């Protein structure tokens, strides 16, 4: 609704790149160069990590648009597949028959790689969201690399969030970890990158005024988004809506401050709504440490009174009664362990 007001051909801050063209910061260009080198130099395994929304998929898609015709690409981004489903997926993607027999598939896969290598081609297997893949499936992927041949006709890219590094530290993944020849971590945009990114997006959307956001606004956007492109898009889109509603010709720091408050408020409302749906047990946990202490104090006091009374009535109360009291009070005490 604000496009005509600001002289835009299309919305500039959609999550997808405007017109299919992407802004690449220095870190993004380094990541792209690293991926290209991994393909050209026939590196077996390559690791690319980055936070949510930092542009890993954007870099990957840019690479795929540049690869040669003789590179067969298979992208796997579903970590919930079973082993059977994994091999079935590879079968359909690479055109290799799979009749639910892993041994036969491995033989056909090795033959496929050998023939592809002789023709001057190679296979690129990309594992996206690799941090969510189970260890046994990652091990199956590693074993596939044993059939890459002398020229490494198979390259495997592991792409995921920073916690992928922690997962690879598992002793069970030592053989896989030792095969990773290249590692690159995608850094967030710098303050300068953020300002250039906003101008780039506006220009690609046909903006008459590419300086629509002043320096105070872009600096605050960078601070609040921490250089995350996805968050920059969300804040900027929200700011343009606010600017349009207030008949403003440019976006300043005040508008961004209001947008940040509204965005955070929306998040808090969702959190509060989810809290009201919690079970009584989870709500009790929200009361904090003091409520647990009060319950514990009351329980101890009751037990103390019972103990004193028991000493007085010890001669008159049967032994099985005392056993029953212990049975009833033990679960209460266990909740505070």
Ordered strands of the 154-160 beta sheet: 71-76, 122-128, 154-160, 45-50, 180-186
Instruction: Return d(Cα 172, Cα 117) in angstroms, integer.
Output: 31
71: phi then psi, degrees, rounded to nearest 5? -105, 115
Specify the pLDDT at position 286: 36
DSSP of 154-180: EEEEEEE-THHHHHHTSGGGHHHHTTE
Indicate the helix (H) or strand (E) that contains 50: strand 45-50
Specify the pLDDT at position 115: 85
DSSP of 269-291: HHHHHHHHTS-HHHHHHHT-HHH
**Under a CB-based contact definition with an 8 Å cutoff, are residues 50 and 162 in contact?**
yes
Instruction: Return d(Cα 237, Cα 294) in angstroms, integer.
Output: 49
Specify the pLDDT at position 113: 87
75: phi then psi, degrees, rounded to nearest 5? -105, 125
Structure-block tokens of residue 312:
């007085």
Task: Give the Cβ contact number of residue 160 at 10 Å.
Answer: 22
CATH topology of domain 191-276: Helicase, Ruva Protein; domain 3 (1.10.8)
Q: Which residue has the tokens 């954007």?
A: 58
CATH topology of domain 26-186: Rossmann fold (3.40.50)
Specify the pLDDT at position 306: 57
Instruction: Return d(Cα 283, Cα 275) in angstroms, integer.
Output: 8
pTM of the shown model: 0.70
Burial class (CB in 10 A: 0-12, 13-18, 19+), 66: exposed
**Under a CB-based contact definition with an 8 Å cutoff, are residues 204 and 12 in contact?**
yes
Reference 48, options 64, 30, 62, 66; nearest CA is: 30
Specify the pLDDT at position 197: 93
Q: Which residue has the tokens 């579903």?
A: 78
Instruction: Return d(Cα 336, Cα 285) in angstroms, integer.
Output: 12
**Under a CB-based contact definition with an 8 Å cutoff, are residues 96 and 90 in contact?**
yes
Q: What is the pLDDT along the chain (337 residues), one digit of tens a residue?
A: 788 877 888 888 887 776 567 888 888 999 999 888 888 877 788 999 998 888 888 888 888 888 766 788 899 988 888 888 999 999 888 888 888 888 888 898 888 888 888 887 888 899 999 999 999 999 999 998 888 776 778 889 999 999 999 999 999 999 999 899 888 999 999 999 999 999 999 988 888 888 889 999 999 999 999 999 999 999 999 999 998 899 888 899 999 999 998 887 665 555 455 454 544 444 443 334 444 545 556 656 666 655 655 555 555 555 555 555 555 555 554 554 4
DSSP of 183-249: EEEEPPP-HHHHHHHHHHHHHHTT-S-TT-B-HHHHHHHHHHHTT-HHHHHHHHHHHHHHHHHTT-S
Going from N- to C-terminal start, the domains of the chain cover 26-186, 191-276, 284-334
Instruction: Return d(Cα 198, Cα 210) in angstroms, integer.
Output: 8
Specify the pLDDT at position 223: 93
């Amino acid at each position: 609704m604000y496009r005509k007001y600001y002289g835009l051909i299309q919305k500039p801050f959609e999550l997808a790149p405007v017109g299919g063209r992407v802004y690449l910061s220095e870190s993004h260009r380094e990541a792209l160069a690293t991926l290209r080198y991994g393909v050209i130099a026939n590196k077996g395994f390559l690791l690319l990590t980055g936070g949510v929304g930092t542009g890993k998929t954007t870099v990957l898609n840019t690479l795929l648009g540049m690869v040669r015709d003789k590179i067969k690409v298979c992208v796997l981004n579903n970590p919930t597949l079973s082993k059977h489903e994994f091999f079935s997926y590879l079968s359909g993607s690479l055109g290799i028959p799979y009749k639910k027999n892993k041994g036969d598939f491995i033989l056909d896969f090795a033959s496929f790689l050998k023939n592809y290598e002789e023709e001057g081609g190679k296979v690129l297997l990309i594992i996206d969201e690799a941090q969510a893949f189970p260890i046994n499936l990652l091990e199956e992927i590693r074993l596939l690399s044993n059939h890459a041949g002398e020229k490494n006709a198979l390259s495997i890219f592991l792409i995921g969030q920073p916690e992928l590094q922690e997962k690879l530290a598992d002793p069970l993944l030592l053989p896989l970890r030792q095969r990773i020849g290249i590692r690159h971590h995608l850094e967030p945009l710098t303050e300068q990158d953020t300002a250039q990114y906003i101008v780039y997006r506006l220009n690609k959307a046909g903006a008459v005024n590419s300086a629509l956001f002043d320096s105070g606004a872009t600096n605050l956007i960078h601070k609040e988004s921490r250089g995350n492109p996805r968050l920059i898009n969300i804040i900027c889109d929200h700011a343009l809506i606010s600017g349009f509603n207030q008949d403003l010709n440019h976006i300043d720091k005040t508008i961004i401050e209001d947008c940040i408050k509204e965005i955070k408020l929306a998040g808090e409302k969702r959190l509060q709504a989810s809290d009201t749906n919690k079970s009584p047990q989870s709500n009790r946990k929200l009361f904090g440490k003091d409520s647990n202490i009060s319950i514990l104090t009351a329980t101890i006091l009751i037990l103390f009174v019972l103990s004193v009374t028991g000493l007085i009535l010890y001669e008159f109360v049967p032994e099985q009664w005392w056993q029953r009291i212990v049975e009833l009070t033990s679960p209460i005490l266990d909740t505070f362990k």
